[in-house]
Structure 1
Amino acid sequence: MAFCSLLCCGMTSNRREHRKKSSTTWRVFSLKELHSATNSFNYDNKLGEGGFGSVYWGQLWDGSQIAVKRLRVWSNKAETEFAVEVEILGRVRHKNLLTLRGYCAEGQERLIVYEYMPNLSLLSHLHGRHLAECVLDWGRRMSIAIGSAEGIAYLHHHATPHIIHRDIKASNVLLDSDFQARVADFGFAKLIPDGASHVTTKVKGTLGYLAPEYAMLGKASESCDVYSFGILLLELGSGKKPIEMRSPAVKQAITDWALPLARERRFGAIADPRLNGNYEEAELKRVVLVALICAQSKPEKRPTMLEVVDLLKGESKEKLSNLENDEMFRPEPTMSCQGVSGPDDNSDCITEETDSRVDVKQGTYSLPEAAAHIS
């Protein structure tokens, strides 16, 4: 309780500041209020379940809809992730970040209350329960790409102090009623002190999205989020998972598959077949090139998220031309082996296909997609 008390005190000034900027701000909910809103956390209200616990749909007395993340078991680790997420979400306000409605910390109950996202997660539309509906036309995909990029750019360049998300992936991009992107789940986020280029930390994240330098050395920086976003962009444009099985014994990273096609300028072969060719060729090419330049293994060569936003919007023809002529997209005369390991052909940190959240050093897993609405 002491930790949460410090959290409450530390966020008071943030709440005052945000009240000046927005009419919607977070507040402390009572456990009784959330019991009433969710019909006592009734099974019929459950939106999903993950390693942290469950997510429930609820409705407050004023008719507004909410999503409530309820930790299954209290522990020091769960308490820390709970406090980090509330602290981060209490600091930020951006149209492409999930809005914190409030939290509850009574006894050993830890609950986070969010704005309800009726179209669930990007993952649910690309690979999950909404796959067959195929409602993500090209216009919506471009909007999601740009919107999520703008949300991450805000964290990196405009939040004070700057914030590294550390778990950018399709299940953490939620979609509102208009299919606008909201980046979510800040339980792994890190604040970056002024002047620091990175922080060294225990490796957490999701296989297939982890930057090589982070997976191997624990060096977390804004550039790690850029790498993860590159994988997300390829996933969004192609409909493929970050890692797919080529045979029972061989797994292929999405960059291994896309890079040779990009070098051959076969961008149409990368497009999600469910689009049936209904996409803007110039925009598809931008998405693929930006994705691959983000997901290269050398962090110093990756763009910033501000540059990513500009490139995706296509506002500078010169920058786009420079990107297309980058050496990584030059056709190679020969290929010595199949399945390169990424844009720089030297990254083999991806070892297993899974949609699971992973603590790489400890090898522990949980399943966030069951709770894709929030986690």
Structure 2
Amino acid sequence: MSVCGPSKFTLPGSCTGVACCQSGIPAAVDYFEPYLLDIPKEQTDPIFYSNSTTCRYVFLVEAEWLNTKYTGGSLNRTDDFAVPVVLDWAVRNVRNCKAAKRNATDYACRSMLSHCVNSKNSTGYRCNCSKGYEGNPYLDDGCKDINECERKGKHTCHGACTNTPGSYTCQCPPGTSGDATRKDGCRPKDSFTLALKVVTGVSLGVFLPFFMSFWLYLGLQKRKLIRTKQKFFEVNGGLFLQQQIRNYNGTSKGTGGFKIFSKEELEKATNEFAADQVLGHGGHGIVYKGVLEDKTIVAIKKSKMMEEAPTTEFAREMFILSQINHKNVVKLLGCCLEVEVPMLVYEFVSNGTLYHYIHGSKGLDSDAALDACLRIAVESAEALAYMHSSASPPILHGDVKTANILLDHKLTAKVSDFGASKLAPTDEAKMATLVQGTCGYLDPEYLMTCRLTDKSDVYSFGVVLLELLTRKKALYFDGPEEDRSLVLCFMMAVKVGQHQDLLDSQVRDEMRIEALEEITHLVVRCLNMSGEERPTMKEVAETLEMLRRYHSHPWAQADANPEEEQSLLAMEPRNANYKFTQDCVLDFEASSTYSYSL
């Protein structure tokens, strides 16, 4: 509230209540309405209403202007007049900028070239264009770049001015240097001053010995790396292997295709062993896909630590493995011996593993799936039989499983991963080895005696054959404990005559009962606890080939008489009831063993 006295007491100066009075509007007031009130005569001193005037008005004005512009009697006017006012405003639907930015829909600073400023008068915020821009920050494209080069009075440049988004550059003309923002700030360049000569000389004196030492260090490191590579090459039997390759090439017209690769060649082929080149992980290392300089696609196995063995023995094994030439065995193309653990280079097989075809998303679910399974089983068995019987010396795989049987684009089987392979020893004392392999496929006899034999591969292949027939995994940890081992489930089912319930429905539907019993008999023989009682891989391959021919023969699709079936199967009729006696097949429930007969 403000009270105005009579005008006769008006004095020059500010508006202090004589003929003129003022009230300051407090901050954060959202609404203000002026109201004029006459003081009743009977209730106050006559001094408040004598010499009064009927010319009374109220207006809003900037306080600073009123304090500096008012002189006594100057506001006693009856005409229209203008005074300055101050608009103090903000966006006040939120407390500050931090809160406003949380809601992009209601955020008032629409221009990408604007920023938010907290209100200094109570809550809220306002928007300003960023430095170097002007316009309306409340519109999407409201802030525009300021061309500082055109505003010479505000932005001084005595050189070459170049406008940039939000700023500008001011450079001295070519051939000069200095500060172009000052008048006469650019001076001609001295190409090579005395100070520069001194600095250059000192720099050369200080840094030249350093660089010489650095290059000498690099040279020593390179020589050390070369010596290390040579050491690994010799330790891994490289000299012996080179001699074997030269002798082989000298006694035969072909080269054999085996090559000793350098570490740099394999790094280039795999893009420095990039993660996207990984084909798979195994118990013995990581397999990468690589492309050699001649565009040959290969699989490169980067092995983990290997057993300590004589260098010539490892080189001899590599050379002999490289001579394996069988259509169902992955070809060993070469190796790299310049590293601590040698890397092996194999031919690339494009269509994944048998494991993924049985249990993966692709699946062997076509009409010809059973034919494909039998053919893959025959090809795998023939490959193992070749290594056991035809290779010289014989080769034991040691880790036969569906993950180590690869399939090409025609679903042709190729046995791979000789990480656990051994040349069959001639000395009985050397047969004991460190147990290697995969759980679910390991030969129990090998596990107990640590003696790897060709019958160990037969047992593992029996598990592979069982996977093909049942489409179940060798180990399954999600189910009941008694169902986790496929071999255990199968043996227990054979014992009670319910083994056919474990077979895949397509196998049961498409195979005749005679063939089913014959292949069941073969699996049981392969899984015998006693290695001596198991068939050889050659016998397994011949039996499977016979079953495959029987299944694909027209007689198998019709009701053939017994004589025809026996002729085609080349076998005696079998009784489907298996009888067990002690000491051959392991009974996991009773902790005893049994043998079977038909």
TM-score by length of 2: 0.49
Structure 2 CA distance for aligned equivalents of residues 14 and 184 of structure 1 = 27
State the percentage of identical aligned residues. Answer: 32
Superposition deviation, residue 161 in structure 1? 1.1
User: Which residue does the alignment assign to 2:279?
Assistant: 47
Deviates more, 1:36-45 or 1:141-150: 36-45
Superposition deviation, residue 332 in structure 1? 5.2
Structure 1 residues 17 and 258, CA, compared in 2 at 3 Å: closer, same or farther? Answer: farther
Structure 1 residues 199 and 218, CA, compared in 2 at 3 Å: closer, same or farther? Answer: same
Kept in 2: contact 1:198–1:221 (CA 8 A) = no
AA aligned opposite 2:289: W
User: Which residue does the alignment assign to 1:120?
Assistant: 352
- Match 2:571 to one of 306, 321, 324: 321
- Match 1:4 to one of 234, 237, 240: 237
User: Which residue does the alignment assign to 2:204?
Assistant: none
Structure 2 CA distance for aligned equivalents of residues 156 and 17 of structure 1 = 28
Q: Tell me, yes or no, if structure 1 residue 346 matches structure 2 residue 593.
A: yes
Q: Tell me, yes or no, if structure 1 residue 94 matches structure 2 residue 326.
A: yes
Superposition deviation, residue 97 in structure 1? 0.9
Q: Whose relative contact order is higher, 1 or 2, with alpha carbons under 8 Å and at least 6 apart?
A: 1
Superposition deviation, residue 232 in structure 1? 1.0
RMSD of aligned alpha carbons: 3.8
Aligned 1:220-231 pairs, distance under 5 A: 220-231=452-463
Deviations 1:298-338 (A, max 9, x none): 2221111111111111179488635845xxx63459xxxxx
Q: Tell me, yes or no, if structure 1 residue 242 matches structure 2 residue 242.
A: no
Superposition deviation, residue 235 in structure 1? 0.9
Structure 1 residues 17 and 127, CA, compared in 2 at 3 Å: closer, same or farther? Answer: farther
Aligned 1:255-294 pairs, distance under 5 A: 255-259=487-491, 261-262=493-494, 269-273=501-505, 277=509, 283-294=515-526
User: Which residue does the alignment assign to 2:267?
Assistant: 35
Structure 1 residues 18 and 298, CA, compared in 2 at 3 Å: closer, same or farther? Answer: farther
How many aligned residue pairs are there? 335
SS of 2:593's partner is coil
Deviations 1:335-368 (A, max 9, x none): xxxx9449x9629xxxxxxxxxxxxxxxxxxxxx
Q: Tell me, yes or no, if structure 1 residue 153 matches structure 2 residue 385.
A: yes
User: Which residue does the alignment assign to 1:330?
Assistant: 577
Structure 2 CA distance for aligned equivalents of residues 115 and 324 of structure 1 = 43
SS of 1:223's partner is helix
Structure 2 CA distance for aligned equivalents of residues 280 and 248 of structure 1 = 31
Structure 1 residues 64 and 280, CA, compared in 2 at 3 Å: closer, same or farther? Answer: farther
Kept in 2: contact 1:126–1:239 (CA 8 A) = yes
Aligned 1:162-311 pairs, distance under 5 A: 162-194=394-426, 199-245=431-477, 247-259=479-491, 261-262=493-494, 269-273=501-505, 277=509, 283-311=515-543
Deviations 1:187-231 (A, max 9, x none): 222222458598222211112112222111112211111111111
Structure 1 residues 60 and 187, CA, compared in 2 at 3 Å: closer, same or farther? Answer: same
Superposition deviation, residue 114 in structure 1? 0.9
Structure 2 CA distance for aligned equivalents of residues 79 and 131 of structure 1 = 43
Deviations 1:33-80 (A, max 9, x none): 2223222222222212345442211222333211111236x6665998
Structure 2 CA distance for aligned equivalents of residues 213 and 177 of structure 1 = 37
Structure 1 CA distance for aligned equivalents of residues 358 and 425 of structure 2 = 36
AA aligned opposite 2:475: I
Unmatched runs of 5 consecutive residues or more in structure 2: 1-231, 551-565, 581-585
Kept in 1: contact 2:482–2:489 (CA 8 A) = no
User: Which residue does the alignment assign to 2:289?
Assistant: 57
Aligned 1:72-87 pairs, distance under 5 A: 77=308, 86-87=318-319
